[in-house]
Amino acid sequence: DAGVIQSPRHEVTEMGQEVTLRCKPISGHNSLFWYRQTMMRGLELLIYFNNNVPIDDSGMPEDRFSAKMPNASFSTLKIQPSEPRDSAVYFCASSAGTNGGQPQHFGDGTRLSIL
C-alpha cells in the first residue's frame, strides 16, 4: 500500500524565493496534517485539514505560509517569500477519521534549506 507521498524530498533555494511543498495522503484518510521539525523546537503542527477543510491553522508562523487542500488526494504548503529561518524538515501526515484518535502516518518529509 502506498503511504503518504511528499515531494520534493530535498529543496535548496535562496531566500526570497517561493517554495511549494506537496503531499498526497493515504487514500481514504480524512485528516491531513502539516508539521515542521527543527532540533530546537521539535515537531510543530502548522495546520490540519479534516475532509479537505482547514480546521486549525494557528501553528502557521506568519502570512508568508499558506496551505491548501483542493481535493482529498492532494495538499500544498507554500512559503512566499522564503527566509533562512524557514529551514527545517516539513512533514505531511494523514490519518483515518476526524476525531484525532487515529494514528498519524507520516511521509518521508521535505528537507528545506533556505540560503
Partner 1 sequence: RKEVEQDPGPFNVPEGATVAFNCTYSNSASQSFFWYRQDCRKEPKLLMSVYSSGNEDGRFTAQLNRASQYISLLIRDSKLSDSATYLCVVRNAGNNRKLIWGLGTSLAVNP
Q: Which of 23, 18, 21 is nearest to 4 (CA)?
A: 23
Compute how many other C-beta atoms are within 10 angstroms of the C-beta atom of residue 92: 29
Closest CB 25 distance from partner 1, rounded Å = 14
Cross-strand pairs, 20: 78
User: Which stretch in 10-18, 70-78, 79-87, 104-112 sits in contact with partner 1 by CB under 8 A?
Assistant: 104-112
Mask 46-65, x = binds partner 1 (CB under 8 A)? --x------xx---------
Is there binding between residue 99 and partner 1 (CB under 8 A)? yes
Compute how many other C-beta atoms are within 10 angstroms of the C-beta atom of residue 64: 15
Question: Which residues are near partner 1 by CB under 8 A?
Answer: 41-45, 48, 55-56, 91, 99-101, 103-109
